[in-house]
Amino acid sequence: MLDFLLRVFGKDSGSSRNVAKERLRLVLVHDRADVSPQLLDDLKEDLIKVISNYMEIDEKALEVNLDTSDKTVALVANIPVLRMKRTGKRAEKIG
Amino acid sequence: MKKDKGSKGKKLFVKKADDRLSEDSPAKSKGTPDEGVPSMAEKKKPEKSAAPDKPDKLPEKPDHLPEKPARKNTVESDPWQQAFADDNTILIKRTVRSGQCIQFDGNVVVMGDVNPGSEIIAAGNVVVMGALRGVVHAGATGREDATVSAFKLQPTQLRIANHITRAPDGDYVAPEHPEIARIKDGVVVIETYQMGQDRQSKIG
Amino acid sequence: MGEVIVITSGKGGVGKTTTTANIGTGLAALGHKVVLVDTDIGLRNLDVVLGLENRIVYDIVDVTHGNCRMKQALIKDKRFEGLHLLPAAQTKDKTAVTPDQMRELCDNLKKEFDYVIIDCPAGIEQGFKNAIAGAERAVVVTTPEVSAVRDADRIIGLLEAAELREPKLIINRLRPLMVKRGDMMSIDDIIDILAVDLLGVVPEDELIVVTTNKGEPAVLDGNCRAGQAYRNMARRIAGEDVPLMDLEANDGFVSKLKKLIGFK
Ligand SMILES: Nc1ncnc2c1ncn2[C@@H]1O[C@H](COP(=O)(O)OP(=O)(O)OP(=O)(O)O)[C@@H](O)[C@H]1O
Ligand SMILES: [Mg+2]
C-alpha cells in the first residue's frame, strides 16, 4: 500500500523527476533540430511580417513549433487568419 | 656529526625496483625521449639502434639564459659542493603544478612544492625547498653524479641519469627531514640530507 | 583481432575514467587481454585510478611521435597479467595527437589485445575526435541529471555522424531511493528520452571513492554494489547476456527492465 502510494506520488507531475524529464524533452527537441528558442522567436517575427503582406492574422495566437517524431523534425505553424487582404504585395507589384 | 649515519640511509627507492622497470618489462628504458633527453638505458643495450637518435642536450632551453660551457663528465672531489659549481642554475620561485614541465640544461632549484603530475628535468642537480611529489629527472644527459634533494622527498618517480626508481607500492612513511637521492654503487639511495656529509665521509 | 571500444560522455566528471578502469579490469579478470588507453592528454587520471601512476616512463604522445616503441610505453597492471595501460601525457595538450595517429595506434593495439578500451576526455573538441577516431563501438556514460543526459544526447548524435552506430548507454550514480521518491529520473525515463540500448546501471556507491583512493578498481571488491554492476557489464561486453542487477532489495521499478541485456 505504501509502495502504491509512493508510486502514485512518483507520477505526480510536480515531482523533480518529472520536471527534469519534461525539461529535458523540450531542450532536446531544440538540440536535435539544432534550433535555439531564440531562433524560433526570430522566425516567428519574420513569418508575421511576411504573412501580414497577404492576410491579417491573429499574432497573439500564432504558434510556431518544431515537431519531432522519432527521427524526423517538422516545423509546424498554427496561424489563425482573421481576414484576407484584397490586394497582396504581388498584386501591387504587377499593378 | 656521525659520518656513517648518512650512508646507511633507508633504501626507499631501489634501482629497477620491480618487474615493471626490470630488464624484461616493456618499459625497460628510461628518460623522457620526447623532451630529447637521450635514453641511457637504451644506449647500454644491444638493441640500442632501435631507439631513435636523440640530441645530446635538452631542447627548449630558455633562450634568455647564456650558453653553458661544455661540461666535463668527471667528478673532481666533492660532488655536492663542486661538480656542478660551473653549471647554470635556474631558480623557480613558485609551486610547480600538475601538467607543468621544467627542463633545464643545468641545476634546478625550486622554492616551493613540486606537485604530482609535474616534471622536473635537469641536466644537473635538482633541489626542492618544499615537497617533491612529481616526476624528477636529475642528470638527464647522463651524469651519474647528479643528486635530487628536497625537504620532503616523495616523488612519483625519481630518475638519475639512466636509473629509474619509483615510490614503493602501498603506504610508506612520509619523510620528516630533508633527504637527498643519489647513485651509490649503481643503486639509487635516499639518505637524510646532512650539511657537508660528503666531505666528512671523504676525510673519514 | 580485438575490438576497440570508446567510453565517452560529453559532460565531464560523470564516470568515464571509473568506468574504463573497472570494465577493463573486469574483462581482464575474465581472462581477456585488455589494454586501456587514456586519451585525456593534459588531465590524465586513469593511471591514478588503477594505481599505476609511479610506473609511467613513456606515454601515448611518445608512441604516436615515434619516440619509443609501443611495448615500452605499455604499463603492466599489478594484478592481472592480461591488463595493460597506455597512459596519456600530462605535460602536453590534446593537439599533440591527431585522429589519424589514433586510428593507426588502435589498429596496432587490436592486433595484440582482445579489447582496446579508450577513456575519452570530456567535451566535443579535438580530444573527443581523437578518442573516437579508431573506435569501432562506443559506450556513452551519463548520470540521471538533466545536464548529463542532454550532453549524452549530443554525443550520441556526434557518434552516429561519425558512423559509430548503436552506442550503448551506462547510467552511473543512480540512487534508487531518490527515483522512488520522484526526485531523480529513472532508468526508463532516460532510455525513453535517449532511445539507445542500455549496457548497465551503476548505483551511487561510496566504495567507488574508497577504491579510487586506493588505486584498486571497485570491480575487484566482491562486496561492492557498483563493482557488481561493472562485473556484469564486463560479462555483457564479453558476449554474455546478463540480467540487470537488483539495484535495491524489494524494489518495483526496475522489474520490467529485468530482461537480459547484452552488448552485441
Ligand atoms: N557510481 C559512483 N558512485 C560514487 N561516486 C562515483 C561513481 N562513479 C564515479 N564517481 C566519482 O565521480 C568522480 C568523477 O569520476 P570520473 O573521474 O570517473 O569521471 P570522468 O567522466 O572520467 O571525469 P572527466 O570528464 O574529468 O574525465 C570521481 O570522484 C568518482 O569517484
Ligand atoms: Mg576521466
CATH code assigned at B198: 2.160.20.70
Into how many domains does chain A fold? Answer: 1
All chains having 3 or more CB pairs closer than 8 angstroms to chain B: C
Q: Which domain holds residue B178?
A: 66-202
- Any domain includes B20: no
- Any domain includes B2: no
What's the average model confidence in pLDDT over B181-193?
93
* Chain C: residues touching A (Cβ < 8 Å): 145-146, 149-150, 153-154, 157, 179-186, 189, 193, 252
- Residue B133's Cβ-count burial label (10 Å; 0-12, 13-18, 19+) is buried
Q: Compare CB distances from A27 to C150, C183, C186 and report the shortest one's residue.
A: C150
Is residue C17 lining ligand 1, measured as CB closer than 6 Å? yes
Choice from C9, C11, C18 to test ligand 1 binding pocket (greatest atom count within 8 A of CB): C18
Neighbour count for residue B82 (Cβ, 10 Å): 12
Specify whether the backbone of C222 is left (phi greater than 0), alpha (psi in -120 to 50) or beta: alpha
Mean pLDDT per segment of 10 residues, for chain C of length 264 residues? 96 97 98 98 95 94 95 96 96 94 97 98 96 97 96 94 93 95 94 94 96 95 94 96 74 51 71
pLDDT the model gives residue A28: 85
Residue nearest to atom 16 of ligand 1 (CA): C15
* Nearest CA-CA distance, residue B99 and chain C, Å: 4
Contact C84, C36 (CB under 8 A): yes
Between CA A8 and CA A17, with CA A11 as vertex, the angle to 5 degrees is 135
CA C12 to ligand 2 center in whole angstroms: 7
Which amino acid does the sequence have at C203?
Answer: P
What's the average model confidence in pLDDT over B54-77?
38
- Any domain includes B106: yes
CA B23 to ligand 1 center in whole angstroms: 36
How many whole angstroms separate alpha carbon C243 and alpha carbon C169? 15
Q: Which ligand is nearest to the CA of C170?
A: 1
pLDDT bucket at B40, cuts 50 / 70 / 90: very low
pLDDT the model gives residue C74: 97
Length of chain B in terms of residues written: 204
Q: Which homologous superfamily is C3-260 in?
A: P-loop containing nucleotide triphosphate hydrolases (3.40.50.300)
**Binary contact (C182, A18; C-beta < 8 A):** yes
pLDDT digits (tens, 9 = 90+) for B95-140: 999 999 999 999 999 999 999 999 999 999 999 999 999 999 999 9
pLDDT the model gives residue A22: 85
Q: Which domain holds residue A35?
A: 2-94
pLDDT the model gives residue C23: 98
Residue A7, pLDDT above cutoff 70: no
**Binary contact (B27, C74; C-beta < 8 A):** yes
pLDDT bucket at B84, cuts 50 / 70 / 90: low
CA C172 to ligand 1 center in whole angstroms: 9
Q: What is the ipTM of this complex?
A: 0.76
Into how many domains does chain B fold? Answer: 1
**Hey, where are the domains in chain C?**
3-260
Beta-bridge partner residues of B192: B179
Is residue C14 lining ligand 1, measured as CB closer than 6 Å? yes
**Binary contact (C55, B157; C-beta < 8 A):** yes
Of B101-115, B138-152, B182-196, give the lowest mean pLDDT range.
B182-196
Which of C11 and B10 is assigned the larger pLDDT? C11
What's the average model confidence in pLDDT over B144-171?
90
Which 8-state DSSP code applies to residue B87?
A: S
Is residue C221 lining ligand 1, measured as CB closer than 6 Å? no
Is residue C210 lining ligand 1, measured as CB closer than 6 Å? no
Choice from C208, C210, C212 to test ligand 1 binding pocket (greatest atom count within 8 A of CB): C208
pLDDT the model gives residue B7: 38
pLDDT digits (tens, 9 = 90+) for A33-90: 766 677 778 888 888 888 888 888 888 888 887 776 655 667 888 888 888 876 655 5
Query: How does the average pLDDT of chain B come out, rounded?
Result: 67
Radius of gyration of chain B measured on its C-alpha atoms: 16
pLDDT the model gives residue C32: 98
